[in-house]
Structure 1
Amino acid sequence: PNNQSSDDEPPEVELKELPPYLEYAFLGKNEKWPVIIAKDLNVNKKSALINVLKSQKKAIAWKLIDIRDPEFCSHKILLKEDYSPKVQSQRRVNPKIHDVIKKEVEKLLDAGLIYPISDSPWVSPIHCVPKKGGMTVIKNDENELVPTRLVTGWRVCVDYRKLNEATRKDHFPL
């Protein structure tokens, strides 16, 4: 079955505010496929870039299912000889965060981007950090206005610091 995103179905994404040096451009017949490009490109370069992106649109993984072969983008980890594997214990998380982590792991498993390994000598802890969604102002206990970050969701991260210490250095740290 063809699970590839069709030209009729643009990905469902929330267009977020970009830094001042970036802007959105849109591809496809209905111009509903968002890409982020540099804002300071002159008209000719911007047009040339958008034409290349339009002509190579099928090469872009718009959704997880669009990644044709995860082997293509898999890491090869070369360990130093004098390091032994580290098993770091997982920290307890509250049920809400546990559900966020579970959904993210299931999404990656379903897409074939990760797979279970029951006997791995390495175990790295998972952290869930808030996605920052801008600022708002609220009143504190003393009735003062205080700027506060809005949390718009959660980002699941794996703490690979111990693994990075044991890895021969290359140009692509985890």
Structure 2
Amino acid sequence: MVLTSHPDEDAVGDEGLIESTDDPWIQRLNILWDMCFEQREPPTEDKVIQVNMGDESSPKPIFIAEDLSSSEKEDLISLIREYIDVFAWNYEDMSGLDPKVAMHRLNIDPDAKPVKQQQRRFRPEIMESIESEVKKLIDSGFVKEEQHPDWVANIVPVPKKNGKVQICIDFRDLNAACPKDEFPLPITDVMIDNTCGYERMSFMDGFSG
């Protein structure tokens, strides 16, 4: 979720974001700035409360708005309980798709030489977190051990705010061996322009990404 900021009245006057100029790009930027914040109130952060849909041994926390009425909270919690199996609370809850329905294969250049990256070493406390996360992935069937792989990519541990470690993979060598996508990536300027006139922009995110 992205909250677009509200301009400071002391920082920006009626001149717009940038001083008056004949540059058409700057003029367009000033117009967009005025459109974004015309008759807008500063965004406020909604207060939420945590509700455990599970038990102490298997917590399933959700967050709902604090300013809902008692009946609205009860109705919302009741609705979530009715469809509790729709949500993924851990890796085991995500069974995946049947390979008969869809299967992903890497389009690797047949002339590309496989790369086995040299093993990296991590601090003991980081290694413990990595082993714990990899065990979860193996137990849930997300990954499996390969005895004689042609390609070997190192793990890149990324610390989270909650103290845990997110497991990423250094796929640079593998990416170099795959053809580039023909479609262009989103243009940053266009994405920023699309936020004008809105207080919030929502994104769909993965379960553990």
Give the paired residue count: 132
CA 1:78–1:154: 2 relative to 1, 3 Å: closer
Counterparts of 1:15-54 in structure 2 under 5 Å?
Answer: 20=45, 23=48, 26=51, 28=53, 33-35=60-62, 53-54=80-81
CA 1:77–1:36: 2 relative to 1, 3 Å: farther
C-alpha root-mean-square deviation of aligned residues, in Å? 4.2
Which of 35, 39, 64 does residue 91 from structure 2 map onto? 64
Amino acid at match of 2:89: W
Q: Which has the larger radius of gyration?
A: 2
Amino acid at match of 2:86: A
CA 1:123–1:71: 2 relative to 1, 3 Å: farther
Instruction: Name the one with the larger strand percent.
Output: 1
Q: Give distance in 1, aligned partners of 2:152 and 2:170.
A: 10
Q: Give distance in 1, aligned partners of 2:111 and 2:132.
A: 33
Report the equivalent of 1:79: 107
Identity %: 27
Q: Give distance in 1, aligned partners of 2:47 and 2:118.
A: 40
Counterparts of 1:11-160 in structure 2 under 5 Å?
Answer: 20=45, 23=48, 26=51, 28=53, 33-35=60-62, 53-67=80-94, 69-72=95-98, 76-81=104-109, 84=112, 85-132=114-161, 152-160=163-171
CA 1:29–1:120: 2 relative to 1, 3 Å: closer
In structure 2, runs of 5+ residues without a counterpart are: 1-44, 186-208
Query: Cα distance, 1:126 vs. partner?
Result: 0.7
Query: Cα distance, 1:91 vs. partner?
Result: 0.7
TM-score by length of 1: 0.52
Amino acid at match of 1:125: N
Query: Cα distance, 1:59 vs. partner?
Result: 2.0
